[in-house]
A and B are shown apart, each in its own frame.
Chain A
């Protein structure tokens, strides 16, 4: 068996799966050949290139079987909490109750990509007046309408305010269709006024204590709502345990990111790293398993690093990536164009940083929630991006705009300007729709040109 790290196609994975199985591969219950997911309609897998490790196989199978887990959870009597938009904080509360499973219906935004528009979700959103001028997360409306991609949650919670107009409008449309939503307010995080009592949040942003207190009051209110759904109280010790468990996942992921982004030869590809990060926000509906999946990836990355091997050439240009892509294929494109991922900011850094364990749990969660990059200004994000670029040693910045997403209209300029002036590295923006096949030449040109620019700079 050839275990040399490489990226392979879906059809190559069938052969690889046989190899691994013959060699005694041990899989969880949701395991199996990747190609079986195509039969479920996940057609995009045919166009992707995957890491060839058993750890990557587990990651993909874990991601693509979430619907089964949610259905099983419901069948076993658990309540499903659909948390929307906050990307990281509310599930920590929900998972502190054994009666609940939390997930993000927002994740439906990838269904049009993964099913290559076959599920008709965007068409449903169009018919409801939510057209392509909105972020692809509008596919969520279609998912609720068809009930074909996740069980309808027992409780829907949505953060609004300084989150994102697209999502807020889409959620309001969902509510107008009869889905009851528990709204909660995310205040616009601002720099503390002179003389205002302030603290440093996890991740480094500073915020006024008043804002932390407000956030805490909102999360307390949500806690009561969640407890009511669970049918039992979630006491502080349960919350502390929940925070600890969440941090367990976050720590593994942090180590994975450091290992992969700083390695001389990239031990894991960009696409798997994107999926890995996504696990942090709601654990893909199984907190324990998500830790095991990430640990497997970390073990593989460490082993490859120790062996001095990588999945990409050593001289691949190190690119820091801002914003998640609506089309997974574009993560492959980065590597095809000669780049490798060397840092990322996918709009949920507050789901990656550790939640303080030396504070009362609600205080800790409030600080975490207030550290959400979405609710602050683009300058805050830019500062964090600069710091992480330096930490990971990236040579270029790629800002991926999400078509229709309201924050993308203005943030690219702010982040790009800050990175250029502070770090002097080249910056490029691209826009990635859910199925970008017709735009691949255009996207390739931009990414390739960015890579060429860096290569020229290296010669100096």
Chain B
């Protein structure tokens, strides 16, 4: 049977259709988040069903997760993204024992038991300095897109030290660095290092390997490396790291 997981994040809506009979993802998709979150989610779900030539009623159960989960009225159940990410990563990377998830607005560290259930978790404080938002602000300042920002960081030879705890003040720092002639490559890698440091602080000292890195920020070149430096251990990025929340929601829908 087909089950759907909807991750109504703060920046994007992600949907995964999962066939529990063959254990495969049938379809997945993403759309920008907007004001009419429920309608957007429904539209994306129907679009995926249509692409796979599946009738609208073929989804047995739906679980919604993410920031906007309670707005998805047509979901059968809502589950937080912590539990969903754990389920999704365990399916994709069964050996993973720690998940670091960096999204647009928040970041999380989730420690897993051997069976993939959540042992414990921590989330960033109200400041956005350990999130994708910080990268967006910097990318805008450097007039590049996020992916190019990541590529720039790979060419850095002398990462800039970004000290501000606040994204707003950090932006001011970056303006100052540019004015002082610091190379954009060094700024990019400095920002990645700052984000990784904040996330490392949040995650704490006890990180049990293997570590899986998920969330949209995992797709940006250089971030996994920056995280590895801080955590002092290898970090793997599963395929489609942005979709693990929605995947986990779909898997949990199959267990309702």
Contact = CB atoms under 8 A, between A and B. Distances in A.
**Chains A and B touch each other in the complex, with CB atoms below 8 Å apart:** yes
B118 interface: yes
B253 to A, nearest CB: 14
Contacts of B43: none
A453 B81 contact: no
A448 B80 contact: yes
A428 B122 CA distance: 7
Contacts of B106: 442
A268 B98 CA distance: 38
B157 interface: no
Given A426-B119, A452-B80, A456-B83, A431 B67 contact: no
A65 B164 CA distance: 46
A456 B67 contact: no
A441 B80 CA distance: 11
Nearest to A424: B119
Contacts of A426: 118-121
Interface residues of B, number: 19
A453 B118 contact: yes
Nearest to A448: B80
Contact of A453 (B115, B120, B126, B204): B120
A449 B121 contact: yes
Contacts of B120: 420, 426-427, 453
A419 to B, nearest CB: 10
Given A453-B118, A453-B121, A431 B80 contact: no
Interface string A420-460: 10000011110100000001011001101100110011001
Nearest to A430: B123
A456 B80 CA distance: 13
A447 B106 CA distance: 16
A447 to B, nearest CB: 9
Interface string A71-92: 0000000000000000000000
Interface string B113-147: 00101111111011000000000000000000000
A413 B202 CA distance: 10
Contacts of A431: 125-126
A439 B82 CA distance: 18
Contacts of B67: 441, 445
B79 interface: yes
A439 B123 CA distance: 14
A456 B125 contact: no
Nearest to B69: A445
Contact of B82 (A429, A453, A457): A453
Nearest to A429: B122
Interface residues of A, number: 19
Q: DSSP class of A's interface residues: helix, strand, loop or mixed?
A: helix
Contacts of A439: 126
Contacts, number: 48
Given A441-B67, A445-B81, A452 B118 contact: yes
Interface in B71-127: 79-83, 106, 115, 117-123, 125-126
Contacts of A446: 123
A431 B81 CA distance: 19
B190 to A, nearest CB: 26
A420 B204 CA distance: 13
B18 to A, nearest CB: 19
Contacts of B117: 453, 456-457, 460
The residue in A420, A427, A456, A457 that gathers the most chain B C-beta atoms within 10 A of its C-beta is A456
The residue in B67, B80, B115, B204 that gathers the most chain A C-beta atoms within 10 A of its C-beta is B80
B80 A445 contact: yes
A449 B83 contact: yes
A445 B122 CA distance: 11
Contacts of A445: 67, 80-82, 123
Nearest to B252: A452
A456 B248 CA distance: 14
Given A426-B118, A441-B67, A460-B117, 13 more contacts: A426-B119, A426-B121, A429-B122, A431-B125, A442-B106, A445-B67, A445-B123, A449-B118, A449-B121, A453-B83, A453-B119, A453-B120, A453-B121
Interface of A: 413, 420, 426-429, 431, 439, 441-442, 445-446, 448-449, 452-453, 456-457, 460
19 contacts: A413-B204, A420-B120, A429-B122, A441-B67, A442-B106, A442-B126, A445-B67, A445-B123, A449-B82, A449-B83, A449-B118, A449-B121, A452-B82, A452-B118, A453-B83, A456-B83, A457-B117, A460-B115, A460-B117
Interface of B: 67, 70, 79-83, 106, 115, 117-123, 125-126, 204
